[in-house]
Structures are given as structure tokens and as C-alpha cells.
């Protein structure tokens, strides 16, 4: 099949440079997705390889069982100029494209877990009209931001291009054809077929995938409960060491059930049952935006005055809460807020006194390498890698955290000497 190279062009250089600073004052969620270089994208019979401005590959992503493609590459496929307005966080596709890319570098990649940002603050405008995208069930779909590029799911891409979307599981091929727009039941979770047209619903196995619906049934049967008797907290696909599994969590009469189920075999690979008290119904909870406002108000700050604002919903000892983090030039703030009552459970404020000095011999990158070497691991083998500079009793240090499988590692490393001050390894059974 003839290859056609699609690149972001000069416009992407500008868009990428501007997209990252836009995160500074925005609220977004960081979620795990899977980079899929093995996916083949075919538009009207031609196989496409999407590229960035530097010629490197822009692969498809899979997030929450949906396949995502880079929006700006699609813009070029449509022959449209792509522009970024940093003030309004608006991506515009319009006019006739005037730039082309002459680079021919294209490097094959590997399937791996990556972190993406769900950007509900981005606006997509096509030919002067603001676009909103929804699942077949009417749920709003938001863009993803990964490595400086904006991605949209196939349902939205099909809508933009006015094409039918198909998925061939045996060859891992996505097709966009014709001048209609059809994605059949693209957001449902059913048994996998050898070839399906519901391209948004990705099943990561060439032979079989039980699907989320079946995973929920397995968990409920094991618990001896009916769906009408429980409140679902989580029901989603996840990836553990490259293996797809379903994470199913629910509450019933003050008991929390947590299942991990192999996506191919349907076998329960992990189970936990806690008597933690009743989870508040979703309608009784405050929203993530309300939690954010509670934290900002307590800190005496406005959203425009902070950077690196993150809001995450979590559960600890049966209590559902929001973790809110943000920074100013003077301090770093961390809040925990009860999701039912809005009460502030914990506040931490750390003054920004750890500026780089001549006494800081090692860098954050070197601290990371020291920790990984001690653990006997490579960076490609771990997830949730974090490096943070801190100061305790006058000693400036780096705190390094990462995970591999069900093992969590935490290190404290002296920023002046590189000496390991603390090393902890915890296995989550």
C-alpha cells in the first residue's frame, strides 16, 4: 500500500511551543494512555504515517478504550491551516493550507504506557464554528494533550472529516472512508469480533477480549451481588506490564470491592475487600471545580495567579476526596478535600526556598539515575516517575518516586553529595 507522509509543518512548531505554557494556569487531569505505533491508519485507501515538525512520528493513542489521532495531522490531511490562540486556548482549522514539510525522518516506536492530559479547557474551531464532540451516549469528549500535540478520538475525527470510521482488529487497522459519518455503537463495551466497525471501542488483543461489561459481570458474580445493589466507583480498562486488564471497583452496604480482571481470560488476578463505610452517592459529591475553588479560596489566591494546577479524585480509608495541587512563585500548595462535605482534610504549604545554589552538586536528572540504579531498574521499566526538590532540617534533598508492577519505590537523595538518605520499597498485595 502506498505510504503518505503527513506532517504538522511550520504551524505545529508554533502550536507546540505555545501549547505547553498554556498549561500553566489551566486545570487538567493527568491520565494513563497507551502509545500504539502498531496501529495502521488508512484514509480513503491510503496508509498514513503522521509526523511532527521535526519529522519524528506522531503515533495513535489509546485512552479509556478509545483510539485517538493527532488533530493537527488530520488538519493537514484536510488541507487546512492549523492555528493556536494561547490566550483563549483555541485551536482553529481553516483556510487552505500554505505550508508543507520537507523532512523525511520517521522512526518506528514501541507500544508503551504514557501520561496524557485531558484538556477540557481547549476549544476546537473549524471554519469559524466551535465544535463539541460527544460519545454515542451523549457524554462530552475532550481533547488529550501529549508531547505537545492535541489528540481527538476517532468519533470526533470522523465527524470533522465527514467520513465513516472502521476498525479491523486482526490487522489493527483504522479506516476512514467515504463522505458520510458513521461509527456504529462506538462507545459500548461488548464482546469482541474479528472485525468491527465500532472503531472508538478498542480491544487490545488479537484473539479475544471479554469487554468491560463482562468484566463487571464477573466481579459482581464473585461478590454475590447484583448491579442494582451496588454503586460503581471505577470500571475501566488499564494496562499492567503491557497486559490489558479491567479495574472494577464498587460499594455495597459499607463494603468496598476492588477487582482486577484479565481482559483475555476473564480470570480475577487481584481482589480486595474492605469494610470502610458507605460511599456517598455521586449526586451528593462536590465537583472537581468546586474542590478547586475551595482550595484556592483558602489559600487566598485566584486561578490566574497559580501554575501547575491539578485536581484528582481519590479514595482513602473509605473516604472519597479530592487532591488539589498548585504553585506560585513563592510556595507550593497541596490540599485534600472531602468529596461529600467539601471540608478541607489536609493542607500543606511549602515555601519555595530551594533555589539552585552552588552547593547543589547533583541535578534532578542525576538524582533520578541514582535511585533507578539502586533499584536495578531502567526508566523505561517504571511508571509514575516523580522527582521533587525539598528541604528538611537545613538539608536540601531530592525525593524520587516510581512504580513497577505492584512495587512502589521512594528515595531521598542528598542534593549536595548524591548520598541516598532513605530508600523504601513497598509491594502492594
Is pLDDT of 334 > 90?
yes
316 has a pLDDT exceeding 80:
no
C-alpha 79/C-alpha 418 separation (Å) is 53
Residues whose CB falls within 8 Å of the CB of residue 324, separated by 6 or more in sequence, listed in order: 291, 292, 294, 295, 309, 310, 311, 312, 333, 334, 335, 336, 337
**Sheet of 243-252, strand order:** 231-240, 243-252, 255-262, 268-275
197-225: average pLDDT: 70
The dihedral through the CA atoms of 398, 401, 402, 405 has a sign that is positive
C-alpha distances out from residue 323 to 64, 132, 145, 151, 207, Å: 22, 28, 21, 26, 39
Return the SS3 of 137: coil
User: Residue 131: which of 144, 141, 118 has the closest Cα?
Assistant: 141
Nearest to 161 by CA among 186, 134, 184, 182: 182
Q: pLDDT tens, 241-261?
A: 667 888 888 888 778 888 999
Cα separation of 290 and 296, whole Å? 10
Per-residue cell: 349: 504549604
CB 163 within 8 A of CB 177: yes
What b-and-e string marks burial along 278-288, b requiring 16 or more CB atoms within 10 Å of the CB? ebbeeeebbeb
Write out pLDDT tens, residues 83-102.
888 888 888 877 666 554 43
Cell 504515517 belongs to 49
Report the distance separating Cα 6 and Cα 379, nearest Å: 30
In this prediction, residue 97 carries a pLDDT of 63
Q: pTM score, two decimals?
A: 0.39
Residue 358 has pLDDT above 70, yes or no: no
Helix (H), strand (E) at residue 13: helix 9-19
Which of 7-16, 133-142, 170-179 shows the lowest per-residue confidence on average (mean pLDDT)? 7-16
The answer to whether residue 13 scores a pLDDT higher than 80 is no
333, 379 contact by CB (below 8 A): no
Q: Could you give the CA distance from residue 139 to residue 124 in angstroms, rounded to a whole number?
A: 17
Which cell is 253 given? Answer: 452496604
10 DSSP β-pair partners: none
Domains and CATH numbers, the chain: 3-196 (no CATH), 211-275 (3.10.450.40), 283-351 (3.10.450.40), 364-427 (3.10.450.40)
Check if the beta carbon of residue 289 is closer than 8 Å to that of residue 339. Answer: no
The dihedrals phi and psi of 357, each to the nearest 5 degrees, come to -130, 170
Task: Give the Cα separation of 183 and 17 in Å (integer).
Answer: 34
Cβ atoms of residues 258 and 271 within 8 Å? yes
CA distance 412 to 395: 11
**Terminal Cα distance for the chain, rounded:** 48
Q: What is the pLDDT of residue 227?
A: 86
Sheet holding 164-168, edge to edge: 3-7, 46-51, 40-43, 173-177, 164-168, 195-196
Cell of 315: 479514595
Extract the C-alpha cell encoding 285.
459529591
19 pLDDT more than 70:
no
User: Higher confidence at residue 290 or residue 9?
Assistant: 290
Distance, CA of 281 to CA of 198 (rounded, Å): 31
pLDDT tens, 152-162?
A: 887 777 777 77
> Strand ranges (DSSP E) for 373-406?
383-392, 395-404
Query: How far is it, in rounded angstroms, from Cα 233 to Cα 321?
Result: 13
Cα–Cα distance measured from residue 95 to residue 79, given in angstroms and rounded to the nearest whole number: 8
Amino acid at each position: 500500500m502506498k505510504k503518505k507522509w503527513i506532517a504538522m509543518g511550520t504551524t505545529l512548531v508554533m502550536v507546540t511551543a505555545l501549547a505547553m505554557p498554556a498549561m500553566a494556569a489551566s486545570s487538567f487531569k493527568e491520565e494513563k494512555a497507551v502509545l500504539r505505533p502498531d496501529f495502521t491508519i488508512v484514509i480513503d485507501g491510503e496508509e498514513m504515517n503522521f509526523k511532527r515538525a521535526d519529522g519524528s512520528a506522531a503515533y495513535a493513542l489509546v485512552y479509556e478504550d478509545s483510539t485517538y489521532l493527532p488533530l493537527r495531522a488530520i488538519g493537514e490531511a484536510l488541507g487546512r491551516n492549523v492555528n493556536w490562540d494561547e490566550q483563549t486556548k483555541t485551536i482553529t482549522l481553516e483556510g487552505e493550507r500554505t505550508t508543507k514539510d520537507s523532512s523525511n525522518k520517521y522512526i518506528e516506536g514501541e507500544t508503551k504506557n504514557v501520561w496524557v492530559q485531558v484538556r477540557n479547557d481547549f476549544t476546537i474551531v473549524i471554519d469559524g464554528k466551535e465544535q463539541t464532540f460527544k460519545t454515542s451516549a451523549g457524554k462530552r469528549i475532550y481533547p488529550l494533550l501529549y508531547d505537545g500535540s492535541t489528540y481527538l478520538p476517532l468519533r470526533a475525527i470522523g465527524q470533522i472529516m465527514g467520513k465513516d470510521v472502521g476498525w479491523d482488529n486482526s490487522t489493527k487497522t483504522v479506516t476512514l472512508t467515504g463522505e458520510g459519518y458513521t461509527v456504529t455503537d462506538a462507545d459500548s463495551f461488548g464482546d469482541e469480533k474479528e472485525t468491527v466497525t465500532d472503531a472508538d471501542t478498542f480491544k487490545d488483543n488479537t484473539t479475544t477480549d471479554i469487554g468491560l461489561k463482562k468484566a463487571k459481570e464477573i466481579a459482581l458474580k464473585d461478590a454475590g451481588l447484583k448491579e442494582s445493589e451496588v454503586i460503581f466507583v471505577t470500571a475501566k480498562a488499564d494496562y499492567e506490564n503491557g497486559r490489558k486488564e479491567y479495574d472494577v471497583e464498587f460499594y455495597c452496604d459499607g463494603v468496598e470491592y476492588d477487582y482486577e480482571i484479565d481482559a483475555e481470560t476473564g480470570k480475577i488476578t487481584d481482589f480486595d475487600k474492605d469494610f470502610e463505610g458507605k460511599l456517598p452517592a455521586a449526586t451528593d459529591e462536590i465537583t472537581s471545580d468546586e474542590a478547586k475553588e475551595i482550595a484556592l479560596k483558602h489559600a487566598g489566591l485566584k486561578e490566574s495567579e497559580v501554575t501547575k494546577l491539578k485536581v484528582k479524585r481519590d479514595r482513602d480509608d473509605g473516604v472519597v476526596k479530592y487532591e488539589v495541587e498548585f504553585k506560585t512563585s513563592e510556595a507550593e500548595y497541596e490540599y485534600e478535600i472531602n468529596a461529600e462535605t467539601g471540608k478541607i482534610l489536609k493542607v500543606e504549604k511549602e515555601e519555595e526556598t530551594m533555589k539552585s545554589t552552588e552547593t547543589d552538586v547533583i541535578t534532578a536528572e542525576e538524582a533520578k539515575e541514582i535511585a533507578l540504579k539502586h533499584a536495578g531498574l531502567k526508566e523505561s521499566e517504571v511508571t509514575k516517575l516523580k522527582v521533587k526538590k525539598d528541604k528538611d532540617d537545613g538539608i536540601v534533598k531530592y525525593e524520587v518516586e516510581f512504580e513497577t508492577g505492584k512495587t512502589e519505590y521512594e528515595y531521598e537523595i542528598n542534593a549536595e553529595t548524591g548520598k541516598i538518605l532513605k530508600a523504601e520499597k513497598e509491594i502492594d498485595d
